[in-house]
Amino acid sequence: MPDREASRAAPSALRGLLSLVVVLGSACSAGAGSVFSAELSALAGRSADGAWTLNGAGTQTNAVGFEYLVRLSGERGDYLTADLQARASYDPARPEREPWAIEIHNAWIEHRFGLGRNARLGHFEPAFGLERALDTHGTLLQTLAERNVGFKHDWGLGYRGTTGAFDLEASAQTGSGMGLERRDGSVLLSSRLSTPPGTAVGVGVSALYGRTLTSMGMRTLPRPIFDPDAVERRRIGVDALWNTGAVALAAEAAAGSNDGRSVLGALLRASWQVPALDALTLEAQAEHWSREDGTRTSLGACVSLRPGDGWTLSAAVLGDASGDAGDTRVVLHAYYYGRFP
């Protein structure tokens, strides 16, 4: 019975949160800074066996959307920020007759108390791992976020502040990802202690506990098809990001369990912004994931060109180094993110 009640409450709660963000954004835009950005993602891939696909790595799909960010300011600076980022996506790998979907990525309101303390309500990233320091929303190469957490955004409450020389983040969320639902005791608790952003060498230490829901396809509407049983996840993780301008290195490792079965993952990425052509970036990544039923080592190489005006054109080769050559894919991606109009 509680699960049924939670399921019925989820759509109304989702409408309430989205309405709150939209109404606040409309009210704030007259007296504060606001930015409306358009987003376009177009991709196609071909596997080693000659099959074509219209989806990429992780949550990347063909999509069109927007982001609306507003800030309400006073004499002491910004004290309230709201963000809504959504897109309509097409993924033929979703269940039959439901390739189209609405994806809510960001839908949050954040209040700034001063002295570096902020409280957030809505849909946002859990406080865990390299994803907090390395945004992969529009990229082909992904972090370990989906393997560790199961998704990259969740509904709930969050806090950001400082403790000594470090930044502290913590969040309590529903454990349902893009869809808003609670069942089988689902919950997600996460925390991360890290060096402040902008430092040449950034380091983070994270911890996570949750009972997260698994859904077929990443989407908010139509309502995701959730598995009836939640997955109990426990993790500790470390991540690092080193940036000299032309060269950047990123790494993360995490250990823990899924439903009591041990898992271990690690990722290393190297990026080089070609000095003679700043718009060109070359990247290489290795990822290893181990669990009771086997291990998987994935390799990826990506070339990205930014011709200007918000466009990024990318081509990547993504493969499985564990012996299955059929998993190798070439993915082409055209991505636009910029102010509109």
> The domain that contains 142 carries what CATH number?
2.40.160.10
DSSP calls for 108-119: EEEEEEETTEEE
The confidence score (pLDDT) of residue 7 equals 44
Q: Does any domain span residue 14?
A: no
Q: Does any domain span residue 3?
A: no
Q: Does any domain span residue 105?
A: no
Q: Does any domain span residue 118?
A: yes
Q: What mean pLDDT value characterizes the chain?
A: 87
The confidence score (pLDDT) of residue 20 equals 53
Q: Does any domain span residue 69?
A: no
pLDDT for 252 beyond 80: yes
pLDDT for 16 beyond 70: no
The confidence score (pLDDT) of residue 26 equals 54
Q: Does any domain span residue 102?
A: no
Q: What is the pLDDT of residues 176-197, one digit of tens each?
A: 999 988 899 999 999 999 999 8
The confidence score (pLDDT) of residue 78 equals 78
Other Cβ atoms closer than 10 A to 64:
14
Residues 104, 220: contact at Cβ < 8 Å?
Answer: yes
pLDDT for 6 beyond 70: no
Model pTM?
0.89
Rounded average pLDDT over 277-305: 93
Rounded average pLDDT over 250-268: 97
The confidence score (pLDDT) of residue 4 equals 47
pLDDT for 21 beyond 60: no
Rounded average pLDDT over 212-229: 88
Domain count, the chain: 1
* Percentage of the chain exceeding pLDDT 70: 87
Residues 279, 304: contact at Cβ < 8 Å?
Answer: no
Q: Does any domain span residue 261?
A: yes
The confidence score (pLDDT) of residue 225 equals 86
pLDDT band at residue 325 under the 50/70/90 scheme: low
Q: Does any domain span residue 80?
A: no
Could you tell me the end-to-end alpha-carbon distance of the chain, in angstroms, rounded to an integer?
A: 48
Burial class (CB in 10 A: 0-12, 13-18, 19+), 115: exposed
Determine the structural domain holding residue 326 and report its residue range. 42-57+110-339
Strands (E), 18-141: 33-47, 52-53, 62-74, 77-90, 100-114, 117-124
Distant-in-sequence, close-in-space partners of 193: CB < 8 Å, separation ≥ 6: 163, 166, 167, 168, 204, 205, 206
Residues 298, 323: contact at Cβ < 8 Å?
Answer: no
Interatomic CA distance for residues 191 and 204, integer angstroms: 10
| 275 DSSP assignment | T
Q: What is the pLDDT of residues 78-107, one digit of tens each?
A: 789 999 999 999 988 777 678 899 999 999
The confidence score (pLDDT) of residue 323 equals 62
Residues 332, 41: contact at Cβ < 8 Å?
Answer: no
